[in-house]
Amino acid sequence: MDLTFDDGDRNGANGGLGPPSATDDVAFLTRSAHRIVALDALADRPRDRRELRALTGVSASTVCRTLREFEARRWIRKDGHRHEATQLGAFVARGTVELIERIETERRLRDVWPLLSIEEDDLGIEALADAVVTVAAADDPYRPVNRFVSLLRETERFRFAGPELALLEPCRDELRRRIVDGMATEIVDPPSAARHVLSTYPEHCADPLESGNLAVLVCDGLPAYGLCLLDDRVGISGYDPDSGTVRALIDTDAPAVREWAESTYDSYRRRARPLAVETAVP
């Protein structure tokens, strides 16, 4: 939809080629970050130029030019020595701030989201707006695993479903210690992964299993991502399809993500069966 203005006095925003379009106004507002800050601040409450200079960090002359442009668009009005947003201006400010926040979320998830294979109907991207996104780097490939370990140290109950090897195997010593020390743990594994861990690390697994704090279930058809449920946060690990290593970890305390995670985990747990430990080691 092409929204244009018919105010003949305003034809400078697009080089004098006629009334500016909605995209011209968007370009004006977003071209300099201080304009968004100023309009959002005026939508919050009336402010004078001195306050706007302190908020935006720009010069007095720049603030004056910005206010003149806002007034020309009827986004603000003057109230004595202060300026305040009109209803139109507040509407624009709210929409622009929301757009910037959406873009910021998208930028953080741009390289991560394709690794998760989560349907939007199941979990919307909006729910992850405040999530911590930890991505592996060439000089620090274990960043996601280290972030996971830091979360593991602060929880008393841990549940996991998915391909565990890439995430849990590198931190098996820490996981073992936490389980033996009393962390209630339940892991829903693909059968092949559970057999691999128990056959590769039989002595390492003995104490956690004997402690009564660890339950291992097996289930076919688990998600391609790892789902971690901790006391206060939910973690989602994404894997490099070629190497199988952990590429990223997203963690959040958002209620919508917790609700999705509990429901998703329960759906796999209901289909899972206890691992027969005595037959898992060949």
Read out DSSP for 185-252? EEEEE-HHHHHHHHHHSHHHHHHHHHHT-EEEEE-SS--SSEEEE-SS-EEEEEE-TTT--EEEEEEE
Tokens of 262: 């509990």
The answer to whether the beta carbons of residues 249 and 236 sit under 8 Å apart is: yes
Position 74 confidence tier, pLDDT thresholds 50, 70, 90: very high
Instruction: Give me the pLDDT at residue 161, please.
Output: 95
Instruction: Give me the pLDDT at residue 144, please.
Output: 94
Q: What's the residue count for the chain? A: 282
**pTM here?**
0.76
Give dist(CA 27, CA 266) in Å, integer: 47
Instruction: Give me the pLDDT at residue 3, please.
Output: 37
Give the mean pLDDT of 115-136: 87
- The CATH number of the structural domain formed by 120-280 is 3.30.870.10
Q: Is 120-280 in the same CATH topology as 32-105? A: no
Instruction: Give me the pLDDT at residue 9, please.
Output: 39
Position 280 confidence tier, pLDDT thresholds 50, 70, 90: very low
- pLDDT higher than threshold 90 for residue 250: yes
What is the residue extent of each domain of the chain? 32-105, 120-280
Helix%, strand%, coil% for the chain, nearest 5: 50, 20, 30
Strand 157-161, strand 226-229: pairing:
antiparallel
Instruction: Give me the pLDDT at residue 199, please.
Output: 83
Position 242 confidence tier, pLDDT thresholds 50, 70, 90: confident
* 94 vs 111, residue with greater confidence: 94
Give the mean pLDDT of 148-171: 90
- The CATH number of the structural domain formed by 32-105 is 1.10.10.10
- pLDDT higher than threshold 90 for residue 151: yes
